[in-house]
Copies of this chain bind each other. A is one copy, B any other.
């Protein structure tokens, strides 16, 4: 299995703070994400700024879009995103429209797995060209004490087995990485762990753990 990437999610509402966080951590991550909070607060200017400053990084625009797939995907891809996120609850026509725009512009759609999604949905996404999903423990659920469990890992394995790469997020820390060693992980996505004061040290710990469990 390919080695998972490390992704930082920038979720400040304030542009200066987001850019300052990015400047501290960029060379320690593979992927930079304009988080939903930043994208809504600042609009696509946030994506343009990040693309300008980080021309070589993979750039994600975390819209979690649910409708108007063509328009929203066009906005994000034109601003410089490589990957854009679509909510699992979106109608398949929305997924498909976003996917077409993204791939025509050299990028990809990632499906954000919120709500009541099924493996039948996942197969449908795959049939429509999707190759990536993002498995969450929501920020609010984590804050309320909801943990990673065997049910999560089983579902992730099922998605891997369907041929979908799974990015993992939701308060992830280096000590969690080993849990996912059987999964085809696209990226581990962390926000506050990487944008805090010891973000670089934590990024190094993430890389150590990734290197321990994945080769290549």
A residues in contact (CB < 8 Å) with B:
11, 13, 35-37, 39-46, 63-72, 75-76, 87-91, 93-94, 96-97, 112, 114-118, 136, 138-141, 143-144, 146
Could you tell me the distance in whole angstroms from the C-beta of A131 to the nearest C-beta in chain B? 20
The SS class assigned to the A binding surface is: mixed
Which one, B44, B67, B116, contacts A140 given CB within 8 A? B67
A39 to B43 Cα, complex, angstroms: 7
| Chain B residues positioned under 8 Å from A66 (CB to CB) | 36, 64, 66, 87, 112, 114-115, 138
| Chain B residues positioned under 8 Å from A146 (CB to CB) | 93
A115-B87, A116-B117 as given contacts; A97 in contact with B140, CB under 8 Å: yes
Could you tell me the distance in whole angstroms from the C-beta of A121 to the nearest C-beta in chain B? 8
Kindly report which residue of chain B lies nearest to residue A38, judged by CB atoms.
Answer: B43
| Chain B residues positioned under 8 Å from A94 (CB to CB) | 138-141
Which one, B42, B89, B139, contacts A87 given CB within 8 A? B89
Could you tell me the distance in whole angstroms from the C-beta of A62 to the nearest C-beta in chain B? 9
Across the A-B interface, the 10 shortest Cβ-Cβ residue pairs: A89-B115, A43-B43, A93-B140, A116-B116, A89-B89, A89-B114, A94-B140, A91-B138, A42-B43, A91-B141
